[in-house]
């Protein structure tokens, strides 16, 4: 054993002892496996660092190259005919094979794509969303509807759904008198109901007034005789003949989803289509929430 090895071992011993002293001083609980592993790791690092450095420094001082020289040399610099070290040669071959796989399959198949990540994220979320809210109860829908409303609807209809003093539809009631009159005078063919277009001027003068009064009043009280012309499509109760025509009494799911899909240009102004913005569950939730606005 030469002096270099002795010095290295001495350094390692000092570090190991220092580690043990610290452990002792700080009252570290060695029954905790994490502490034990950490301490053993520190000891191992000290021993390995000095052991390995000593080995190679020693080798540099004493080692001599051996083997048969090749015939050619360049300005006196020659080359040995030694075999490649086994470990190196096998890892080199291994890397070659891996590189071929990576070039042909590894990278092209697994390359990062931001759009791919978005697709996966959205798909995973939608599946989970559908699963979770397949049979959502009223309270969940109400809550979901409110949050959808605040993001997508509130900028025009106001946070409370009051239509911001006439800038958009007021969800406090189904239709105002002016809106009913406007629809009667201009007809309507926007929402894509199975019943199709409503022709203009189905009722006039006092009849139209009476109908507007009645519908705007929430379809309460005695039905005016003129309403018969409406009931052929909208139903005698104005509920829209189970989805054939718009419901005039309340915001049912059909009114909300048809308006979201097609948008609407009416007496107040124009509402754009929100066709791709909301999922069916969200539309249903929105209908529940909007209904609750007019219920109070």
Partner 1 sequence: MFHWLEKNPFLFSVGVFLVIAFAGLVEILPNFAEASRPVVGLKPYTVLELAGKEVYKKDHCIACHSQLIRPFKAETDRYGQYSLSGEYAYDRPFLWGSKRTGPDLHRVGNYRTTDWHENHMWDPKSVVPQSIMPAYQHMFTNIADIDTAYAEALTVKTVFDTPYDTPNGVKLGTLDEAKAAALEEAKAIAADMKNQDVKDAVANGQIPEIVAIIAYLNRLK
Task: Tell me the residue ranges of DSSP E strands in 133-271.
Answer: 264-265, 270-271
**Which phi and psi angles does 76 have, rounded to 5°?**
85, -5
Which contacts of 14-18 are long-range, i.e. CB under 8 A and separated by 24 or more positions?
15/46, 15/50, 16/43, 16/46, 16/47
Q: Six-digit token pair at 35?
A: 């502490």
3-state secondary structure of 59: helix
Question: How far apart, in Å, are the Cα atoms of 213 and each of 166, 217, 219, 251, 252?
Answer: 19, 6, 9, 18, 21
Interface of this chain with partner 1, residues 86 to 105, rule: CB under 8 A: none
- Tell me how far apart the alpha carbons of residues 114 and 70 are, in angstroms, rounded to a whole number: 55
Q: Which is nearer to partner 1, 196 or 269 (CB)?
A: 269
Q: Which is nearer to partner 1, 198 or 271 (CB)?
A: 271
* Least distance to partner 1, CB of residue 164, Å: 6
Interface of this chain with partner 1, residues 207 to 236, rule: CB under 8 A: none
Shortest CA distance to 175 belongs to which of 165, 167, 183? 183
Q: Which is nearer to partner 1, 80 or 125 (CB)?
A: 125
Could you say whether residue 109 binds partner 1 (CB under 8 A)? Answer: no
Contact pick of 56, 80, 103, 118 for partner 1 (by CB under 8 A): 118
- Tell me how far apart the alpha carbons of residues 64 and 28 are, in angstroms, rounded to a whole number: 48
* Least distance to partner 1, CB of residue 163, Å: 11
* Least distance to partner 1, CB of residue 108, Å: 15
Q: Which is nearer to partner 1, 42 or 154 (CB)?
A: 154
Judged by CB under 8 A, the stretch of 22-30, 118-126, 138-146, 286-294 that binds partner 1 is 118-126
- Tell me how far apart the alpha carbons of residues 141 and 133 are, in angstroms, rounded to a whole number: 9
Q: Which is nearer to partner 1, 7 or 167 (CB)?
A: 167
Shortest CA distance to 46 belongs to which of 21, 28, 29? 21
* Least distance to partner 1, CB of residue 205, Å: 28
Q: Which is nearer to partner 1, 102 or 125 (CB)?
A: 125
Cβ atoms of residues 227 and 214 within 8 Å: yes
Rg of the chain taking only CA atoms, in angstroms: 41
Strand partners, 74: 77
What string marks each residue from 141 to 170 as x (binds partner 1 by CB under 8 A) or -? ----------xx-xxx-xx----x--x---
Torsion sign over Cα 114, 117, 121, 127:
positive
Could you say whether residue 130 binds partner 1 (CB under 8 A)? Answer: no
* Least distance to partner 1, CB of residue 295, Å: 24
Q: Which is nearer to partner 1, 52 or 117 (CB)?
A: 117
Question: How far apart, in Å, are the Cα atoms of 64 and each of 166, 206, 285?
Answer: 96, 118, 83
Q: Residue count at the site for partner 1 (CB under 8 A)?
A: 24
Contact pick of 70, 125, 204, 232 for partner 1 (by CB under 8 A): 125
Q: Which is nearer to partner 1, 227 or 274 (CB)?
A: 274
- Note the residues at the interface with partner 1 (CB under 8 A): 114-115, 117-118, 121-122, 125, 151-152, 154-156, 158-159, 164, 167, 269-274, 276-277
């Amino acid at each position: 054993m030469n002096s270099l090895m002795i010095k290295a071992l001495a350094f390692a011993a000092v570090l190991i002892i220092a580690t043990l002293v610290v452990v002792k001083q700080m009252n570290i609980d060695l029954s905790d496996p994490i502490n034990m592993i950490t301490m053993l790791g520190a000891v191992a690092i000290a021993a390995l660092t000095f052991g390995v450095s000593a080995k190679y420094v020693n080798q540099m001082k004493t080692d001599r190259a051996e083997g048969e020289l090749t015939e050619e040399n360049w300005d006196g610099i020659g080359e040995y005919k030694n075999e490649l070290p086994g470990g190196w040669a096998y890892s080199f071959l291994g890397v070659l094979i891996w590189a071929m796989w990576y070039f042909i399959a590894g990278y092209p198949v697994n390359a990062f794509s931001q759009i791919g990540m978005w697709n996966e994220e959205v798909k995973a979320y939608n599946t989970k969303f559908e699963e979770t809210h397949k049979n959502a109860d009223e309270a969940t829908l109400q809550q979901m509807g409110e949050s959808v409303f605040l993001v997508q609807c509130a900028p025009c209809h106001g946070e409370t759904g009051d239509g911001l003093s006439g800038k958009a539809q007021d969800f406090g009631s189904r239709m105002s008198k002016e809106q009913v009159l406007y629809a009667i005078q201009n007809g309507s063919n926007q929402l894509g109901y199975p019943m199709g277009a409503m022709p203009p001027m189905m009722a006039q003068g006092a009849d139209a007034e009476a109908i507007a009064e009645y519908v705007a009043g929430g379809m309460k009280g005695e039905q005016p005789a003129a309403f018969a012309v409406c009931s052929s499509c909208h139903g005698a109760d104005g509920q829209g003949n189970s989805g054939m025509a718009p419901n005039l009494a309340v915001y049912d799911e059909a009114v909300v989803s048809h308006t979201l899909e097609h948008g609407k240009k009416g007496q107040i102004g124009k509402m754009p289509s929100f066709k791709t913005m909301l999922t069916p569950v969200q539309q249903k939730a929105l209908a529940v929430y909007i209904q609750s606005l007019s219920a109070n």
